[in-house]
Chain A
């Protein structure tokens, strides 16, 4: 795996809506590249016989029955909202995005 480029970090920052200065980008692209390269070393030891593992604990089918449990009250749900109106979360204008 190749090292992470500055432009990759810039793009990721934009996708993650994180405002970064040129200075931040310079500093973090170096640090992040070091992390990515270190993690990539795992690929060197893992052979074809080692399957990719997303879940390290060998468990599956942990489900719950389809039974209603109590929800929060509207007041509790909105308690942490920066702004609320008519029982709903109030958010700023949504522009340039899809409806």
Chain B
């Protein structure tokens, strides 16, 4: 099944898209009970009668989750409803212990906002936000038998540790007018949401762990005839691609869906309004259940929870705690750090900005911090297939490494070896330098001996230097560095060579 390319789909149709982003909050406890909200515990050890939906249990709202939801809503320019309530969304699925999810329906806490996202070339695109509401997460299914997927499984196992973890779901209005830049805008939007929740400190924002997840809605409609207003052309039927969990996958899912739908439309076939599943391995989607069949959730107000009515004073107080918009912060840092467009973009895309910032705060220079994180460390993270922040290296280590270089204790080459030691878990850079004996040889007599030996071994080079061909000294420097296993200060070695050759005044 080969799809039309994204570019040609975009030439022939006008895309309209919408995104639902689920943000998992990093509160200490769950949304409606005191069970710990922590990733990675033994299965079913962070559960209680409330999140297991046992009879007679009563949910109580986590006030920190409400605070986080309001701060996020304010960051998205939303209004905060004076009185909002929870609702039950009824459906059966094994990861949902109660057979309903507590969510918000007709009275979400945050509504009608807008968010500016900045594309790589600096173009700003404004996304309309319909709502941001609170709800609870579901448990985790593991399918047993078959190939690990749902198809062919003999049965499934459920861990409810995640069930009841607080989520904020952010829903956009239909986004029009992005044309061929749709995939880029979608990616930039989710990246901006992720940056905002990290800056707010309300979520770790880690997409690979599911802390930020996106569902992507896309439809295609015919392009308006010349002179006709595109806005009068009705929307096409949309598909909703679920759980697209990386920034790259968001772009790819839109590429795939645009091509698939364009193929259908050009062949005169209908696009079915349905949920589709994203497959990271094949970069494609497959149909889930069709919408009209499944989407009858019979929402009704949650009788076990009282309305949430944040006072205006509290909302204004929370507004005072909002961080700078990530795009503004980036523009400021780029100028402060004197980074080129490309250096900044690469750092952002590698998720290195926070690490560089923390390294600078710890005392490293911006360029040094960038060099280490985007060089050695980015390569190592790539080799180990982990995120930069998962490496056993801290911003403090980078600042320490830099100060060892600045103090002349080690050179660049030795610093790399020290970093290797840190990556191998041998301690801080200073400890590795100590334990591996990496300090530069600054004892002149040792260096002089090495220089004399090298000069004696290459008398022709000595003659050249004495002839005025000073650049020939490089060969001797190289020999000395080799003899000292890289632990000599190359500049000092050069000075000694010239002294020995008697050409330095």
A15: contacting residue among B47, B296, B301, CB under 8 A = B296
B48: contacting residue among A54, A63, A72, A80, CB under 8 A = A72
Those of B145-170 within 8 Å (CB) of chain A:
149-150, 153-160
User: B29, B61, B275, B277 — which one has the most chain A CB atoms within 10 A of its CB?
Assistant: B29
B63: contacting residue among A64, A71, A88, CB under 8 A = A64
Q: Is the CB of B306 within 8 A of A59?
A: yes
Known contacts being A63-B60, A69-B29, is A74 close to B308, with CB within 8 Å?
no
A68: contacting residue among B28, B158, B159, B298, CB under 8 A = B28
Contacts of B132 in A (CB 8 A): none
User: How long is the Cα–Cα vector from A3 to B301 in the complex, in angstroms?
Assistant: 22
Q: Is the CB of A94 within 8 A of B306?
A: no
CB distance from B255 to the nearest CB of A (A): 22
User: How long is the Cα–Cα vector from A80 to B460 in the complex, in angstroms?
Assistant: 88
User: How long is the Cα–Cα vector from A51 to B310 in the complex, in angstroms?
Assistant: 20
Instruction: Indicate if B289 sits at the interface (CB-CB under 8 A).
Output: yes
- A14 and chain B: residue at smallest CB distance: B296
CB distance from A57 to the nearest CB of B (A): 8
Contacts of A15 in B (CB 8 A): 90, 296, 298
Q: Is the CB of B155 within 8 A of A90?
A: yes
CB distance from B70 to the nearest CB of A (A): 12
Instruction: Indicate if B3 sits at the interface (CB-CB under 8 A).
Output: no
Instruction: Indicate if A97 sits at the interface (CB-CB under 8 A).
Output: yes
CB distance from B433 to the nearest CB of A (A): 41
User: How long is the Cα–Cα vector from A71 to B35 in the complex, in angstroms?
Assistant: 6
User: How long is the Cα–Cα vector from A14 to B325 in the complex, in angstroms?
Assistant: 48
Contacts of A50 in B (CB 8 A): none
User: How long is the Cα–Cα vector from A19 to B27 in the complex, in angstroms?
Assistant: 41
Instruction: Indicate if A23 sits at the interface (CB-CB under 8 A).
Output: no
User: How long is the Cα–Cα vector from A87 to B158 in the complex, in angstroms?
Assistant: 9
Q: Is the CB of A78 within 8 A of B64?
A: no
User: How long is the Cα–Cα vector from A68 to B307 in the complex, in angstroms?
Assistant: 23
CB distance from A54 to the nearest CB of B (A): 4
Those of B284-338 within 8 Å (CB) of chain A:
288-289, 296, 298, 301, 303, 306-310
Q: Is the CB of B44 within 8 A of A89?
A: yes
Q: How many A-B pairs with Cβ below 8 Å? A: 142
B307: contacting residue among A55, A69, A96, CB under 8 A = A55
Contacts of A85 in B (CB 8 A): 144, 157
CB distance from B44 to the nearest CB of A (A): 4
CB distance from A12 to the nearest CB of B (A): 8
Q: Is the CB of A74 within 8 A of B306?
A: no
B43: contacting residue among A69, A86, A91, A94, CB under 8 A = A86
Q: Is the CB of A71 within 8 A of B61?
A: no
Those of B64-105 within 8 Å (CB) of chain A:
64-66, 83, 85, 90, 92-94
Q: Is the CB of B34 within 8 A of A67?
A: yes
Instruction: Indicate if A48 sits at the interface (CB-CB under 8 A).
Output: no
User: How long is the Cα–Cα vector from A12 to B149 in the complex, in angstroms?
Assistant: 30
Contacts of A64 in B (CB 8 A): 34, 60-63
Q: Is the CB of B29 within 8 A of A67?
A: yes
23 pairs, CB–CB < 8 Å, chain A vs chain B: A61-B308, A63-B61, A64-B61, A66-B27, A68-B36, A71-B48, A72-B48, A74-B42, A74-B43, A74-B44, A80-B54, A87-B42, A89-B157, A90-B155, A90-B156, A91-B155, A91-B158, A93-B154, A97-B150, A97-B289, A98-B242, A98-B289, A99-B288
Residues on B lying within 8 angstroms of A by beta carbon are 27-29, 33-36, 42-49, 52, 54, 60-66, 83, 85, 90, 92-94, 141-144, 149-150, 153-160, 242, 275, 277, 288-289, 296, 298, 301, 303, 306-310
Known: A67-B34, A90-B158. 17 other contacts (CB 8 A): A57-B306, A62-B60, A68-B36, A70-B34, A71-B35, A71-B36, A72-B47, A77-B44, A78-B44, A85-B157, A89-B157, A90-B157, A91-B94, A92-B156, A93-B154, A98-B288, A99-B150
Residues on A lying within 8 angstroms of B by beta carbon are 11, 15, 17, 54-55, 57, 59-74, 77-78, 80, 85-99
